[in-house]
């Protein structure tokens, strides 16, 4: 750990802290890193990565230093793409138990007289996103550079729309192609959806029927959705991406049927029993976002939850990603530990890293070079003190779009204020 | 004000034995018989702060009988631990296994008697469902002893119980013999939220403190009634033999289970464990403890414990903490990775990694590893042999069982984990777990490891 040192890192940090607004990123040469490319080239020992204009332009050995470039000596330390934080409330939840800081759900009802359940698939969390949220900084310095910012259904069926954000502190960090509609199925969806899985599918079919063009509603028809809701849902039904929060194998089958019928690209969120239907998921190329640490049945839908869920799905050819659902906002970074634990339980190391990088980039449409280190990749990179999946490893420097990110957060401020007297911090890279 | 005049304290002790003469709900735990075992050539972290490389550990009759290089094998079965690491069995001081069991359905919500802010009379052990599948998964993570606590809805939630992590059909068969019970108290947001939402006290932090104080004041009064009764009874018994016309036999006060618990806390018979996040609130609780003459064994969660690390160390109070939980409520907003390391740093500092989670309890070693690494980077010298104390001996200390478990020393109970590698790694897994010298878990022979009745015959639950 902590091999090799570089003053360049310190210089970078200073540059970053001193800058304000969007600075034009300068060339960066990261030299002598163990580069996990997430491409067919695999892992390159002692390779150089040249970053220009916010993108990786070259990966190889003995790369020339452009004039004025910042050189970072990696000294063999691992370099990975930035990590995916999973399905989170980053930027829309500051403190879960302070409702005034939580913007994750739209529970819009008609009050006491009307139904509690007014599905609003048009709800979109983006306008609430706060790039200054303390949680973003805390997770970013752990190497989390992008995450799905997702609405929460809070017991209803339609949660609404989310999208992947790059956690670079900008006010509009969302990747347009990543927009996803979120639905909550199974035992967690209760309030206002009839307390029955069958009613969930009934309402889902009704909503889909309302949204389908060519089946105009007649005056006097009972409407589930608002006109905007119908428009928005129609977009997702025409080949859009819908994420279904669902655990039970039989419910996953229902979801796949629904998706096939309506031409939806489904993503399974949770999927505690997904490995039971691994072949089906693999053949329909449906990805799963799972909690790699889940091996106890939190609900009856999760019976059979197992540490081998990830490795079984991966072996079957199902694209997998990770999320730390139980505290997926403040502690989203725990996905990295979860990935390591999955490795200890049989998931190949490279597959675990892919689940944190290239797979989410692919699934959520971030572009073919995203989540990888290759020419054309966005320079969202993390230089690690050691094995990126190891719990004793820390991110030493994070770049997003080629810009070095401040490696300080509110937590490091508190740490430094209360550091025991007489104890000096170790140099970043002794 | 002190209620503990020297004589009073003695009387109260007498009174207490009068209150509950015999231990109800006794432990029926019996150690599994285990043949002698010699673990050969391991890296041993013994829990006292020592690391021994290439050392052997000899177990016989459920006890550790030797530790060091080149031990005589005798009749012991030898286990080659070359490349493997050996630690004491892990101890979690804060678990809700059994009282908030998996699956977390309505019927298993047995951890908070949230019907009154002071329910000191309830015992968590009476909620423990031994078939919680989480016991077995915790065992697979090396946990051999754990304290099950009531939740934190109440100011004074009730008594905790320390269990051996063995499969059993009754909790009594898991109950750690002669381990003191715990008393769970809670600061801050939870009690004031739970009761404030119902328009009853407490609804504020000052309401919380008034609630503790009134409860302990009632307990003092109760103890005095028993002292008085005991004195009268003694006088009566003395008189009875001599006097031909004896006075009426004094009748005892009515027993109050809530106050029994609080009196036991003031007498040091139960270990007081306080859920408390903020530094300032911990300081209030230390003053409360002084006011009523009880000792705080540990603050649990304590995400701000690092702010008062010196005081905790001076007062001999442990911090039972997480490595990285923070921010889910305002009182947890100031969490830092270095909390455990900073609490550990002062002389006499007592840091403990706790879980409060059926997931976290499976990887206490990794939580310790994260905190160790961050502490090291903050400039503290924390080798693995020091950090292992956070999940072994320090935990045992706060539970009042350090004389029996928590370290690998001759004479101690043979609770031992053999790890496949350095336990301070995300890839580390226990290969073997011994409880009382008997093999309780063997990763390479899954059928021999416990599995809850609940999981039998469930679809997808076969292994």
Q: Where are the domains of chain A?
A: 7-81+380-418, 84-363
The answer on pLDDT for A112 being more than 70 is no
* Rounded Cα distance, B45 and B309, in Å: 25
The answer on pLDDT for A283 being more than 50 is yes
User: How far does the CA of residue A188 sit from the closest CA of chain B (Å)?
Assistant: 11
> Of A5, A99, A349, A391, which to mutate for an interface test with B (greatest number of B Cβ within 10 Å)?
A391
Burial letters for A196-209: b for 16+ Cβ neighbours within 10 Å, e otherwise?
ebeebbebbeebbe
pLDDT category, B326, cuts 50, 70, 90?
very high
Please compute the mean of the pLDDT values over residues A169-173 and round it to a whole number. Answer: 89
Tens-digit pLDDT profile for residues B332-344: 999 999 999 999 9
pLDDT, residue B41, reads: 98
Tens-digit pLDDT profile for residues A296-349: 999 999 999 999 999 999 999 999 999 999 887 999 999 999 999 999 999 999
Are B396 and B164 spatial neighbours (Cβ–Cβ below 8 Å)?
A: no
Nearest to A27 by CA among A77, A60, A65: A65
pLDDT, residue A427, reads: 56
Tens-digit pLDDT profile for residues A35-89: 999 999 999 999 999 999 999 999 999 998 777 889 999 999 999 999 999 999 9
pLDDT category, A110, cuts 50, 70, 90?
low
Tens-digit pLDDT profile for residues B25-42: 999 999 999 999 999 999
Are B371 and B323 spatial neighbours (Cβ–Cβ below 8 Å)?
A: yes
The answer on pLDDT for A21 being more than 90 is no
Give me the phi and psi of A262, to 5 degrees please.
-105, 5
Mean pLDDT estimate for chain B: 94
The answer on pLDDT for B316 being more than 80 is yes
The answer on pLDDT for A1 being more than 60 is no
The answer on pLDDT for A29 being more than 50 is yes
CATH of A7-81+380-418, one of 2.30.40.10, 3.40.50.1360, 3.40.50.720, 3.30.70.1710: 2.30.40.10
User: How far does the CA of residue B384 sit from the closest CA of chain A (Å)?
Assistant: 11
Beta carbons of A276 and B335 less than 8 Å apart = no
Residue of A303, A340, A341 with shortest CB distance to B461: A303
Nearest to B186 by CA among B161, B149, B223, B220: B149
User: How far does the CA of residue B261 sit from the closest CA of chain A (Å)?
Assistant: 32
A97: which chain B residues are within 8 Å (Cβ-Cβ)?
Answer: 189, 328-330
* Rounded Cα distance, B396 and B403, in Å: 8
CB atoms within 10 A of CB A45: 10
**Cβ-Cβ contacts under 8 Å for A91 (sequence gap 6 or more):** A128, A129, A130, A131, A133, A135, A136, A149, A165
Report the top-level CATH class of B90-211+255-405.
Answer: alpha beta
Beta carbons of A415 and B337 less than 8 Å apart = yes
Q: In what order do the strands lie in the sheet with A180-184?
A: A83-88, A144-149, A158-166, A180-184, A241-246, A265-270, A288-290, A320-322
Tens-digit pLDDT profile for residues B288-314: 999 999 999 999 999 999 999 999 999
Q: What percent of chain A shows pLDDT beyond 90?
A: 76
User: How far does the CA of residue B51 sit from the closest CA of chain A (Å)?
Assistant: 19
Q: Does B102 touch chain A (CB under 8 A)?
A: yes
CB atoms within 10 A of CB A136: 27
Exposed / middle / buried, residue B359 (Cβ in 10 Å: 0-12, 13-18, 19+): buried
**Cβ-Cβ contacts under 8 Å for B49 (sequence gap 6 or more):** B385, B386, B389
Q: In what order do the strands lie in the sheet with B318-321?
A: B90-95, B143-148, B156-164, B182-186, B271-276, B296-301, B318-321, B351-353
Tens-digit pLDDT profile for residues B379-394: 999 999 999 999 999 9
Are A193 and A200 spatial neighbours (Cβ–Cβ below 8 Å)?
A: yes
Q: What percent of chain B shows pLDDT beyond 70?
A: 94
pLDDT category, A115, cuts 50, 70, 90?
low
* Rounded Cα distance, B380 and B230, in Å: 54
Tens-digit pLDDT profile for residues B134-180: 999 999 999 999 999 999 999 999 999 999 999 999 999 999 999 99
The answer on pLDDT for A223 being more than 90 is no
Are B144 and B440 spatial neighbours (Cβ–Cβ below 8 Å)?
A: yes
**Cβ-Cβ contacts under 8 Å for A19 (sequence gap 6 or more):** none
* Rounded Cα distance, A12 and B75, in Å: 63
pLDDT, residue A36, reads: 98
B425: which chain A residues are within 8 Å (Cβ-Cβ)?
Answer: 390-392
B104: which chain A residues are within 8 Å (Cβ-Cβ)?
Answer: 298-299
Closest B-chain CA to A340: B426
pLDDT category, B192, cuts 50, 70, 90?
very high
Residue of B103, B373, B424 with shortest CB distance to A298: B103
Beta carbons of A426 and B105 less than 8 Å apart = no
Span of A372-376, B153-157, B237-241, B334-338 with lowest mean pLDDT: B237-241
Element (H, E) at B190: helix B189-196
Give me the phi and psi of B374, to 5 degrees please.
-65, -35
Please compute the mean of the pLDDT values over residues A395-403 and round it to a whole number. Answer: 97
Residue of B103, B369, B427 with shortest CB distance to A344: B427
The answer on pLDDT for B245 being more than 70 is no
CB atoms within 10 A of CB A18: 8
Residue of A341, A394, A426 with shortest CB distance to B379: A426
Beta carbons of B459 and A390 less than 8 Å apart = no
Q: How far is CA B174 from the centre of its chain?
A: 14
Residue extents of the structural domains in chain B: 31-88+408-463, 90-211+255-405
B458: which chain A residues are within 8 Å (Cβ-Cβ)?
Answer: 303-304
pLDDT, residue A222, reads: 80
More confident site: A76 or A158: A76
Residues 265-324 of B with CB under 8 A from A: 306-307, 309, 324
Peptide bond just before B103 cis, omega within 30 deg? yes
Fold of the B31-88+408-463 domain: Urease, subunit C; domain 1 (2.30.40)
Q: Does B198 touch chain A (CB under 8 A)?
A: no
* Integer-rounded Cα radius of gyration of chain B: 23
Q: Does B177 touch chain A (CB under 8 A)?
A: no
Q: Which CATH superfamily is domain A84-363 in?
A: Metal-dependent hydrolases (3.20.20.140)
Tens-digit pLDDT profile for residues B4-20: 333 334 334 444 445 55
């Amino acid at each position: 750990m902590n091999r090799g040192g570089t003053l360049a890192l310190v210089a970078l940090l200073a540059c970053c802290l001193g800058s304000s607004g969007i600075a034009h990123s300068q060339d960066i040469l990261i030299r002598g890193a163990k580069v996990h490319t997430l491409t067919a080239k695999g892992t390159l020992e002692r390779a150089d990565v040249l970053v220009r204009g916010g993108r990786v332009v070259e990966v190889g050995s003995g790369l020339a230093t452009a004039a004025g470039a910042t050189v970072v000596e990696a000294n063999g330390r691992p370099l990975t793409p930035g990590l995916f934080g999973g399905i989170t409330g980053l930027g829309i939840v500051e403190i879960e138990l302070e409702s005034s800081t939580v913007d994750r759900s739209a529970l819009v009802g008609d009050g006491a007289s009307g139904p509690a359940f007014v599905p609003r698939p048009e709800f979109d969390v983006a306008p609430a996103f706060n790039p200054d949220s303390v949680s973003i900084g805390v997770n970013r310095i752990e190497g989390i550079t992008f995450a799905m910012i997702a609405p929460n259904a809070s017991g209803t069926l339609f949660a609404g729309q989310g999208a992947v954000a790059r956690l670079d502190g900008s006010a509009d960090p969302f990747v347009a192609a990543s927009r996803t509609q979120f639905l909550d199925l199974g035992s967690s969806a209760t309030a206002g959806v009839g307390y029955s899985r069958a009613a969930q599918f009934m309402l889902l079919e009704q909503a889909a029927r309302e949204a389908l063009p060519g089946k105009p509603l007649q005056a006097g028809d009972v409407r589930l959705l608002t006109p905007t809701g119908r428009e928005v849902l129609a977009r997702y039904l025409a080949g859009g991406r819908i994420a279904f929060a669902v655990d039970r194998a039989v419910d996953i089958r229902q979801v796949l049927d629904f998706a096939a019928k309506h031409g939806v690209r489904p993503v399974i969120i949770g999927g505690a029993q997904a490995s039971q239907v691994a072949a089906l998921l693999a053949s329909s190329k449906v990805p799963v976002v799972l909690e790699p640490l889940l091996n106890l049945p939190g609900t009856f839908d999760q019976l059979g939850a197992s540490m081998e869920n990830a490795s079984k799905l991966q072996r079957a050819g199902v694209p997998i990603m990770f999320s730390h659902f139980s505290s997926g906002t403040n502690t989203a970074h725990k996905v990295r530990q979860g990935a390591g634990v999955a490795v200890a339980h049989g998931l190949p190391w490279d597959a675990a890293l892919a689940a944190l990088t290239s797979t989410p980039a692919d699934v959520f449409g971030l572009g073919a070079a995203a989540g990888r280190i290759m020419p054309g990749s966005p320079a969202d990179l993390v230089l690690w003190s050691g094995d990126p999946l190891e719990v004793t490893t820390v991110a030493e420097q994070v770049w997003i779009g080629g810009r070095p990110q401040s490696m300080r957060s509110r937590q490091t401020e508190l740490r430094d204020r209360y550091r025991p007297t007489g104890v000096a911090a170790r140099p970043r890279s002794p | 004000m002190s209620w503990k005049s020297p004589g009073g304290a003695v009387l109260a002790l007498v009174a207490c034995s009068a209150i509950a003469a015999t231990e109800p709900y006794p432990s029926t735990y019996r150690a599994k018989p285990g043949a002698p075992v010699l673990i050969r050539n391991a890296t041993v972290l013994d829990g006292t702060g020592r690391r021994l490389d290439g050392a052997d550990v000899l177990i016989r009759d459920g006890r550790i009988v030797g530790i060091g290089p080149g031990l005589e094998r005798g009749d012991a079965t030898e286990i080659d631990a070359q490349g493997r690491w050996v630690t004491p069995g892990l101890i979690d001081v804060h678990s809700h296994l059994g009282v908030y069991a998996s699956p977390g359905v309505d019927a298993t919500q047995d951890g908070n008697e949230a019907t009154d802010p002071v329910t000191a009379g309830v015992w968590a052990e009476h909620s423990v469902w031994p078939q919680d599948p989480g016991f077995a998964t915790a065992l697979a993570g090396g946990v051999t002893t754990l304290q099950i606590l009531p939740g934190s809805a109440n100011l004074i939630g009730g008594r905790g119980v320390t269990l051996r992590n063995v499969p059993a059909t009754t909790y009594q068969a898991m109950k750690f013999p002669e381990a003191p019970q715990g008393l769970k108290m809670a600061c801050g947001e939870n009690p004031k939220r739970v009761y404030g939402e119902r328009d009853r006290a407490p609804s504020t932090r000052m309401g919380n403190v008034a609630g503790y104080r009134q409860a302990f004041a009632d307990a003092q009064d109760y103890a005095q009634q028993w002292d008085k009764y005991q004195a009268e009874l003694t006088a009566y018994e003395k008189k009875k033999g001599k006097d031909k016309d004896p006075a009426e036999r004094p009748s005892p006060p009515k027993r109050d289970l809530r106050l029994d618990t609080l009196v036991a806390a003031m007498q040091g018979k139960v270990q007081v464990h306080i859920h408390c996040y903020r530094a300032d609130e911990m300081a209030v609780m230390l003053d409360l403890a002084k006011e009523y003459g009880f000792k705080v064994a540990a603050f649990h969660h304590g995400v701000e414990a690092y702010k008062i690390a010196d005081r905790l160390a001076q007062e001999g109070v442990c911090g039972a903490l997480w490595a990285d939980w923070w921010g889910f409520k305002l009182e947890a907003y100031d969490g830092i990775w270095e909390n455990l390391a900073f609490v550990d740093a002062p002389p006499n500092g007592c840091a403990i990694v706790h879980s409060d989670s059926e997931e976290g309890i499976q990887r206490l070693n990794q939580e310790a590893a994260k905190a160790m690494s961050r502490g090291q980077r903050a400039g503290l010298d924390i080798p693995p042999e020091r950090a292992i104390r956070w999940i072994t001996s320090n935990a045992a200390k706060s539970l009042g069982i350090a004389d029996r478990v928590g370290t690998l020393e001759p004479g101690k109970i043979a609770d031992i984990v053999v790890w496949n590698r350095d336990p301070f790694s995300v890839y580390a897994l226990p290969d073997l777990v011994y409880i009382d010298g008997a093999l309780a878990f063997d990763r390479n022979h899954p059928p021999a490891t416990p599995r809850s009745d609940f999981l039998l015959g469930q679809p997808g639950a076969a292994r």
